[in-house]
A and B are shown apart, each in its own frame.
Chain A
Amino acid sequence: MNALSHTNASECASSLPLSKSALPGTDIQAFVRKAGHASRLDLSVKGAKCGGCIAKIESAVNALPGVQGARLNLSTGHMRVDWTGALTGNEIATAVSELGYGVTASGTDSEGTSYQAEERSLLIAMGVAGFAAANIMLLSVSVWGGAGEMGAATRQAFHAISGMIALPVVVFSGRHFFLSAWRALKHGHVNMDVPVSLAIWLAMGVSIWETIQGGPHAYFDACIMLIFFLLIGRFLDARLRRRASGAAHDLAALKNRSVRRQNSTGAIESVRANEIIAGDMILLSPGEQAVIDMTIAEGAGEIDEQLVSGESLPRLVNAGTVVFAGSVNLGAALIGQAISPATDSLLADIATMMEAGEQRRSTYRKIADRAVALYVPFVHTTAALSFLGWIVAGASVREAILIAVSTLIITCPCALALAAPAAQMVASGKLFRSGVFLRSGDALERLAAIDHIVFDKTGTLTLGEPVCLVTENTRKALPIAAMLARASRHPLSRALVTAAGAGPLATGIREHAGLGLEANIDGHVCRLGSAEWVGAGGEVAGEGPVLWFSRGSEPPIAFTFEEQLRDDAKAAVRALETEGYSLEILSGDRPSAVARTAGALGIGVWSARVSPQDKAARLEALRDEGKRVLMVGDGLNDAGALALAHASLTPGGAMDISQSASDAVYAGGLGSIPAILRISKSARQIMLQNFGLAAAYNLIAVPIAVTGHVTPLIAAIAMSASSLIVTLNALRIRHGKSGSS
Chain B
Amino acid sequence: MSIIVYLIPVALALGGLGLAAFLWAATSGQFDDPEGAAHRILIDEDKPMGEPASADDAFRNSAE
Contacts and interface: CB of A to CB of B under 8 A. Distances in A.
Contact residues on B (Cβ < 8 Å of other chain), bracket:
20 to 34
Given A123-B26, A124-B23, A124-B27, A73 B32 contact: yes
A55 B43 contact: yes
Interface string A38-55: 000000000000111011
A54 B39 contact: yes
Nearest to B23: A124
B31 interface: yes
A138 B14 CA distance: 13
Contacts of A124: 23, 26-27
A149 B18 CA distance: 32
Nearest to B14: A135
A268 B44 CA distance: 46
A74 B19 contact: no
Given A54-B40, A124-B23, A124-B26, A131 B15 contact: yes
Interface in B22-54: 22-23, 26-27, 31-36, 39-44
A51 B18 contact: no
A74 to B, nearest CB: 3
A18 interface: no
A76 B33 contact: yes
A50 B31 CA distance: 18
B36 A75 contact: yes
Contacts of A134: 15
B33 A120 contact: no
Contacts of B34: 75
B39 A74 contact: yes
B36 A131 contact: no
Given A120-B27, A124-B23, A75 B40 contact: no
Interface residues of A, number: 24
A518 to B, nearest CB: 56
Contact of A51 (B1, B26, B40): B40
Contacts of B19: 127-128, 131
B36 A74 contact: yes
A134 B11 CA distance: 11
Given A120-B26, A127-B19, A51 B32 contact: no
Interface in A279-306: none
Contact of B35 (A74, A135, A154): A74
A339 interface: no
A161 interface: yes
B23 to A, nearest CB: 6
Given A54-B36, A73-B36, A131 B26 contact: no
A705 interface: no
B3 interface: no
Interface in A103-152: 116, 120, 123-124, 127-128, 131, 134-135, 138-139
B33 A73 contact: yes
A344 B32 CA distance: 42
Nearest to A128: B19
Contacts of B27: 120, 124
Nearest to A123: B26
B55 interface: no
A72 B36 contact: yes
Nearest to B44: A55
A424 B38 CA distance: 23
Given A50-B39, A54-B40, A135 B32 contact: no
Nearest to B16: A131
B18 to A, nearest CB: 7
- Give the most central of A51, A120, A124: most B CB within 10 Å: A51
A135 B11 contact: yes
Contacts of B33: 73-76
Nearest to B9: A161
A640 to B, nearest CB: 36
A276 to B, nearest CB: 33
Contacts of B31: 120, 123
Nearest to A134: B15
- Give the most central of B31, B32, B39: most A CB within 10 Å: B39
B22 A127 contact: yes
A143 B23 CA distance: 30
A329 to B, nearest CB: 39
A52 B43 CA distance: 7
A312 to B, nearest CB: 39
B37 to A, nearest CB: 8
Pairs of residues from A and B, 7 with the lowest C-beta to C-beta distance, nearest first: A74-B36, A51-B39, A51-B42, A131-B19, A73-B33, A55-B43, A75-B35
28 contacts: A50-B39, A51-B40, A51-B41, A51-B42, A51-B43, A54-B39, A54-B40, A73-B33, A73-B36, A74-B35, A74-B36, A74-B39, A75-B35, A116-B32, A124-B23, A124-B27, A127-B19, A128-B23, A131-B15, A131-B16, A131-B22, A134-B15, A135-B11, A135-B15, A138-B11, A139-B8, A154-B1, A165-B12
Interface of A: 50-52, 54-55, 72-76, 116, 120, 123-124, 127-128, 131, 134-135, 138-139, 154, 161, 165
Interface of B: 1, 8, 11-12, 15-16, 18-19, 22-23, 26-27, 31-36, 39-44
Given A52-B43, A74-B33, 4 more contacts: A51-B41, A76-B33, A127-B19, A131-B18
